[in-house]
Structure 1
Amino acid sequence: MPSDRLLVIVEDDEKFASTLRRSFERRGYEALAVPNLDALNALLETRKPGFAVVDLRLAAGASGLTCVQALHTADPATLIVVLTGFASIATAVEAIKLGACHYLVKPSNTDDIEAAFTRGGDGDVDAPLTERATSIKTLEWERIHETLMETGFNISETARRLGLHRRTLARKLEKRQVK
């Protein structure tokens, strides 16, 4: 049986995990942080959390979706919120299919996450519809930064993967993001 206020945070960024853990502890949760699937599986052998916050992208290219699946398999009643800085429709759909109740884009704070837990898996017919499509410049900016993270912020390798000259990429990075 899940602990009423036990929350597990699956996050490889130690500082962010620690900040999130402390914030939830102030709200009365027993919060535990683990950095990867192996640590999560070890925790699930002895504890059954009622709540979970899972980062979509973990260290070494690991996917948080495997953690969502493990949590849901251990206890389908666990309320799981997926957090990501790299949102996509495909990963949002997969996260929900695998057992997450919500999918939030970073930066999200403790209020946002707790509200997602409160809503559970219920849909909201009054959810606001986006009236503006994402611009090409915003999509380009996001793709550049996603590739930068994949390459460990190696400008030359990022430029190669994006098919850009290194200097062109450097100029794009110097510009402000246009929305």
Structure 2
Amino acid sequence: MITECTPADTDIITEQLGRMPRGVVGVAARSTEGVPLVVATAPRLPDGTPFPTTYYLCHPAYVAEASRLEAAGIMAEWTAELSEDEDLSAAYAKAHEAYLADRARVGADSGVGDVPEIENFSAGGMPTRVKCLHALVGHALAAGPGVNPIGDRALSLMSGVPAPASV
């Protein structure tokens, strides 16, 4: 559930990212203390640029852990597993469809509407490869457990991150 991004949230997110966030339409996941973990962004930025990353991971501890896992080379292993495990592949394809549906909702709710340039393109390599754990973890945190199997796996390997609030 996307919640309002208050001015205080904007200040926190700006500090987390080291810059002003672009196209933010709300906070998609928070810690149990209410700190933003993931922001929801419009599918088209204010300058007109298409932006496929609906769920943008912003909390530094999660960003660092996603980077650590990427540097360990786990993405290649999980991409190979997608081609071998039909159940995992099917679940990941469903995550892709869920992401597209979420983006369509965000586009409609924000007044942006459909963005043809990114039609059928989700994020993180879905539905056939693992390309960006930051995007997949952001989706898993925003959607909750059981929606994005690769994002869920990455979360299970992270340490030192704040507990997410229930979705």
> How high is the TM-score relative to the length of structure 1?
0.24
Question: Which structure is larger by alpha-carbon Rg, 1 or 2?
Answer: 1
Which structure dedicates a bigger proportion of its chain to strand? 1
